[in-house]
């Protein structure tokens, strides 16, 4: 479900208080919630997420003054979508995060009174500058977001920080882009991406029209405050379907991110509950894609990239819940940030992904079986291995172009997760539980996955699939899982690591 689809499902429940209600209709207090969060085995231990409540899109990640700064969509009032703020966290390494106070909140009566939506942070000289979408009520002529419940005007707003820790922000008094271009009847106008190109600042906005479908608009500025619309950077085709939320059909593209990578340019955008990529050529400030695909076949949305301290382009994304809303409301938390991912261009010109090397900082004890061992010795070598606390990193290599099945099961044999590959299962070669993805057959299959509570990020030959798994295995307190392989002759090598949590209590970092 996309972030906009959540809007339609909230109804009157959107007014629920910050802390959930128990089975008897009584509101739990803050200390009880903290205790339950600390002891919730499904709550991740080494991913960035707020101490409680709802989070979604990454916003404005930037490396600034020797630290990584991450902002993200956050509801301070509870584990449900609504009242969006920019939360803020800092890190020395993209892995160990320290939460800060809320950076940007809606201004009562302002252009962002109903929500501080997604955007970017750039350095304008020495001045950190945030550009984001603000939403507020609109008359019929000004509506750009109509999800069946809300009728909102989307405008692009600016805020600056003179604080070296980026804790305080001052908003520009007026929108920097107050309305869509003349002549375009848009069905979406949000999520600015901003970068420097020569003497100009350029900005992309996710949008669509009823005639053309999804598109990305491009603007130009010299000072970040006065913007000139140029033209569509790229246009899609009409989805040909009516929907309450045009993002659900792919008729509107949100969260666009456009950047150079190797010898190509890449466009990422979100639609139809997935992140999509296009690669191709960029000239005269227009994009000409010649290859496209899905960035992650599972639960991954709202892409945002940044340049790290070494000049590497890093991808972040929101990992949403796939369980019913009543369950995550009762749990007191919803959503997490993906681990940082590195991107590359494959030999075929497509986008490839893997977890960033920074994740290795969390590795603890390991076990390994090598290619020199027989199938029987590999099985014996892993017989005593256990994944504990639903936390592990595993790298495995399988013989290419052969089926394999790898399972994580409880001590009693109950299924937790299955990762399978079948080159004859066209379009569904890779399966992670009920999630399916496409992986081109090769002579060797490298599978790299990171388990953290209910989050399972899988990379198979640099194709990504993020699954959510809400099964709690028997065997408290550490929920041990055994590793099984259906045919040990297909396994060439495997190494597994314990992963250290970034917090002692699962609520925040020290």
Lowest mean pLDDT among 65-74, 203-212, 357-366, 388-397: 203-212
Calculate mean pLDDT across residues 9-28. Answer: 38
User: Whats the size of the chain, residue-wise?
Assistant: 510
Same domain, 302 and 376: no
63 vs 476, residue with greater confidence = 63
The pLDDT value recorded for residue 1 is 41
Are residues 234 and 246 in contact, defined by beta-carbon separation less than 8 angstroms? no
Same domain, 110 and 186: yes
Does some domain include residue 213? yes
Among 334, 355, 376, the domain-final residue is: 355
Does some domain include residue 220? yes
**DSSP label at residue 21:** B
The pLDDT value recorded for residue 510 is 53
Catalytic residues: 57
The pLDDT value recorded for residue 201 is 98
Does some domain include residue 504? no
Residues 6+ apart with CB under 8 A from 12: none
Count of domains for the chain:
2
Confidence tier at 189 by pLDDT (50, 70, 90): very high
pTM: 0.93
Question: Can you read off the two tokens belonging to residue 146?
Answer: 């109509």
Does some domain include residue 507? no
Helix (H), strand (E), coil (C) string for 169-221: CEECCCCCECCCCCCCCEEEEEEEEEEEECCEEEEEEEEEECCCEEEEEEEEE
CATH of the domain at 64: 2.115.10.20
Q: Is the pLDDT of residue 390 over 90?
A: yes
Does some domain include residue 506? no
The pLDDT value recorded for residue 242 is 66
Q: Is the pLDDT of residue 24 over 60?
A: no
**DSSP label at residue 308:** -
Same domain, 269 and 386: no
366: containing domain = 361-499
Q: Is the pLDDT of residue 215 over 50?
A: yes
| Percent of the chain predicted with pLDDT > 70 | 92
How many Å apart are CA 337 and CA 317, to the nearest integer? 6
Mean pLDDT of the chain: 91
How many Å apart are CA 278 and CA 287, to the nearest integer? 10
The pLDDT value recorded for residue 478 is 87
Question: Can you read off the two tokens belonging to residue 417?
Answer: 């997760």
Q: Give the pLDDT confidence of 260-277 residue by residue, as tens digits.
A: 999 999 999 999 999 999
Closest C-alpha among 270, 267, 251 to residue 259: 267
Residues 6+ apart with CB under 8 A from 421: 398, 403, 404, 429, 430, 431, 439, 445, 447, 460
Are residues 203 and 227 in contact, defined by beta-carbon separation less than 8 angstroms? yes
Same domain, 324 and 375: no
Give CA torsion, residues 361, 365, 366, 367, to 10 deg: 180
Confidence tier at 508 by pLDDT (50, 70, 90): low
The pLDDT value recorded for residue 246 is 86
The pLDDT value recorded for residue 95 is 97
Does some domain include residue 387? yes
The pLDDT value recorded for residue 472 is 92
Q: How many CB atoms lie within 10 A of CB 247?
A: 27
The pLDDT value recorded for residue 240 is 65
Confidence tier at 440 by pLDDT (50, 70, 90): confident
Same domain, 385 and 341: no
The pLDDT value recorded for residue 477 is 76
CATH of the domain at 482: 2.60.120.560
Furthest C-alpha separation in the chain: 71
Same domain, 339 and 375: no
Q: What is the chain's percent helix, strand, coil content, to nearest 5?
A: 10, 50, 40
Same domain, 278 and 392: no
**DSSP label at residue 378:** H
Kindly list the distances between the CA atom of residue 315 and the CA atoms of 341, 353, 355, 453, in Å, as whole numbers in the listed order: 5, 9, 9, 21
The pLDDT value recorded for residue 33 is 82
Q: Is the pLDDT of residue 466 over 50?
A: yes
The pLDDT value recorded for residue 28 is 53
How many Å apart are CA 242 and CA 260, to the nearest integer? 34
Same domain, 324 and 382: no
Q: How many CB atoms lie within 10 A of CB 34?
A: 18
- Across the beta sheet with 435-437, what order do the strands follow? 435-437, 430-432, 415-421, 404-410, 481-485
Q: Give the pLDDT confidence of 127-136 residue by residue, as tens digits.
A: 999 999 999 9
**DSSP label at residue 387:** B
Element (H, E) at 330: helix 325-331
Same domain, 409 and 325: no
Same domain, 131 and 269: yes
Q: Is the pLDDT of residue 17 over 70?
A: no
Confidence tier at 4 by pLDDT (50, 70, 90): very low
Confidence tier at 10 by pLDDT (50, 70, 90): very low
Same domain, 318 and 176: yes
Among 321, 355, 389, the domain-final residue is: 355
Does some domain include residue 89? yes
Closest C-alpha among 291, 426, 318 to residue 87: 318
Q: Give the pLDDT confidence of 97-112 residue by residue, as tens digits.
A: 999 999 999 999 999 9
Does some domain include residue 151? yes
| Percent of the chain predicted with pLDDT > 90 | 81
Lowest mean pLDDT among 239-243, 358-362, 366-370: 239-243
Confidence tier at 12 by pLDDT (50, 70, 90): very low
Same domain, 228 and 88: yes
Q: Is the pLDDT of residue 11 over 60?
A: no
Among 340, 355, 370, the domain-final residue is: 355
Closest C-alpha among 366, 338, 341 to residue 498: 366
């Amino acid at each position: 479900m996309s972030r906009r689809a959540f809007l339609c499902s909230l109804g009157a429940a959107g007014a629920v208080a910050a802390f959930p209600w128990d089975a008897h209709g009584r509101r739990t207090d803050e200390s009880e919630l903290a205790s339950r969060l600390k002891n919730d085995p499904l709550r991740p231990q080494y991913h960035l997420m707020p101490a409680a409540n709802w989070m979604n899109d990454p916003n404005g990640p930037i490396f600034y003054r020797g630290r990584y700064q991450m902002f993200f969509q956050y509801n301070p009032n509870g584990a449900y979508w609504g009242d969006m703020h920019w939360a803020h966290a800092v890190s020395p390494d993209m892995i160990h995060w320290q939460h800060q106070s809320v950076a940007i909140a809606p201004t009562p009566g302002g252009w962002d009174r109903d929500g501080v939506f997604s955007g970017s942070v750039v350095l304008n000289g020495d001045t950190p500058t945030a550009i984001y979408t603000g939403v507020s009520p609109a008359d019929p002529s000004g509506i750009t977001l109509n999800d069946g419940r809300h009728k909102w005007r989307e405008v692009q707003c600016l805020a600056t920080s003179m604080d070296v820790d980026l804790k305080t922000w001052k908003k520009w008094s007026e929108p920097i882009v107050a309305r869509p271009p003349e002549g375009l009847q848009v069905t979406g106008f949000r999520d600015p991406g901003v970068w420097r190109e020569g003497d100009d600042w350029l900005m992309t906005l996710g949008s669509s029209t009823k005639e053309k479908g999804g598109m990305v608009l491009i603007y130009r500025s010299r000072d970040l405050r006065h913007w000139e619309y140029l033209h569509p950077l790229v246009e899609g085709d009409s989805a040909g379907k009516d929907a309450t939320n045009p993002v659900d059909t792919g008729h509107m593209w949100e969260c666009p991110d456009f950047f150079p990578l190797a010898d190509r340019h890449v466009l990422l955008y979100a639609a139809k509950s997935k992140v999509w990529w296009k690669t191709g050529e960029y000239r005269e400030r227009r994009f000409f894609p010649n290859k496209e695909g899905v960035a992650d076949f599972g639960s991954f949305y709202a892409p945002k990239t940044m340049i790290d301290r070494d000049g590497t382009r890093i991808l972040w994304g929101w990992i949403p819940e796939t369980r019913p809303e009543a369950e995550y409301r009762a749990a007191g938390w919803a959503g997490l940030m993906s681990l940082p991912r590195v991107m590359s261009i494959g030999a075929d010109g497509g986008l490839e992904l893997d977890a960033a090397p920074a994740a290795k900082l969390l590795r603890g004890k390991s076990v390994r079986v090598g290619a020199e061992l027989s199938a029987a010795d590999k099985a014996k070598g892993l017989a005593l291995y256990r994944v504990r606390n639903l936390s592990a990193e595993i790298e495995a290599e399988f013989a290419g172009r052969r089926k394999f099945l790898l399972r994580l099961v409880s001590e009693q044999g109950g299924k937790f997760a299955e990762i399978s590959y079948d080159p004859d299962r066209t379009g569904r070669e890779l399966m992670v539980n009920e999630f399916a993805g496409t992986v081109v057959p090769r002579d060797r299959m490298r599978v790299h996955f990171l388990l953290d509570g209910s989050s399972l990020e899988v990379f198979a030959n640099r194709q990504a699939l993020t699954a959510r798994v809400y099964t709690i295995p028997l065997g408290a307190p550490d929920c041990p899982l055994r590793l099984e392989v259906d045919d040990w002759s297909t396994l060439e090598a495997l190494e597994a690591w314990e992963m250290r949590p970034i917090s002692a209590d699962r609520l925040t970092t020290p």
